[in-house]
Amino acid sequence: MAEKILEVKHLNAFYREGRQRKQVLEDVSFTLHEGEAVGLAGQSGSGKTTLCKCVLGLLKDYEGEIVHYTKRPQMIFQDPFRSLNPRKTIGWILEEPLRIQGGYSKDERRRKAEEMLKQVHLLPEIYARYPRELSGGQRQRASIALSLMTGTRLILADEPLSALDVTVQAQIIELLRELQEKEKICYLFVSHDLDVVSMLCSRVLFLKDGEVKEYADI
């Protein structure tokens, strides 16, 4: 059996609404193993983003257990602007996790950022550009590069393709697949589009009203 990457056990999650505590996930359990990509599907409001937030540690009000067996996961969003600081160059943004981590020289940081640009098939000159100077597809590649800078093996992707047109979508899926194969990156991949899910994921978790309706091979 492959190594475990993430285990979610009997997860209940809550939001506060005025004085009420509103439950939005109920008894959600699943395990993600090395090399695996799990799709997360279900209607709007079924709790997909909430589940990602819990896994990332952004939502504190939950019961159950979330066990990380590797480095903290990283998230990519529908709108890559959310993770790219508009006032900084792509190079600066990519180097930021290393600056925070510490222990890297200026040259080492630059080399790693350049390596990562190459890995997501962006040209070296993107290093000096600002996020607004990139196309939508380039921006999503940059945000994928950023998520990989921490050395994580688990990417949570919340509808990462829905702001892109169809040809660009196909290119980003191709990149995600390549990273899956070459770098053994795992995904928790939120999408309404089961065709897209089936290109990347071996299993899909269907949520309905915060509960797992089905956990099936795809």
Tell me which of 11, 38, 46, 156 binds ligand ATP, using CB under 6 A.
46
Instruction: Pick what 74 binds: Mg ion, ligand ATP, none; C-beta below 5 to 8 Å, kind-dependent.
Output: none
CA 126 – CA 73 distance, rounded (Å): 25
Among 9, 21, 45, 133, which residue sits at the site for ligand ATP (rule: CB under 6 A)?
A: 45
Toward ligand ATP, which CB reaches closer, 77 or 122? Answer: 77
Nearer to Mg ion, 78 or 150 (CB): 78
CB 207 within 8 A of CB 44: no
Minimum gap (Å) between residue 17 Cβ and ligand ATP: 6
9-28 residues near ligand ATP, rule: CB under 6 A: 15, 17, 24
Query: How many amino acids of this chain bind ligand ATP (CB under 6 A)?
Result: 11
Q: Which of 49, 140, 147, 191 binds Mg ion (CB under 5 A)?
A: 49
Question: From CA 173, how far away is CA 135, in angstroms rounded?
Answer: 16
Q: Which of 32, 39, 50, 189 binds ligand ATP (CB under 6 A)?
A: 50
**d(Cα 187, Cα 18) in Å, to the nearest integer?**
34
Rg (CA), the chain: 18
**For residues 154 and 190, what is the distance between their CA atoms, to the nearest angstrom?**
13
Is 138 a binding residue for Mg ion by CB under 5 A? The answer is: no
Q: Which of 41, 49, 137, 176 binds ligand ATP (CB under 6 A)?
A: 49
Neighbours of 132 (CB within 10 A): 9
Between helix 166-183 and helix 136-149 the angle, nearest 10°, is: 20
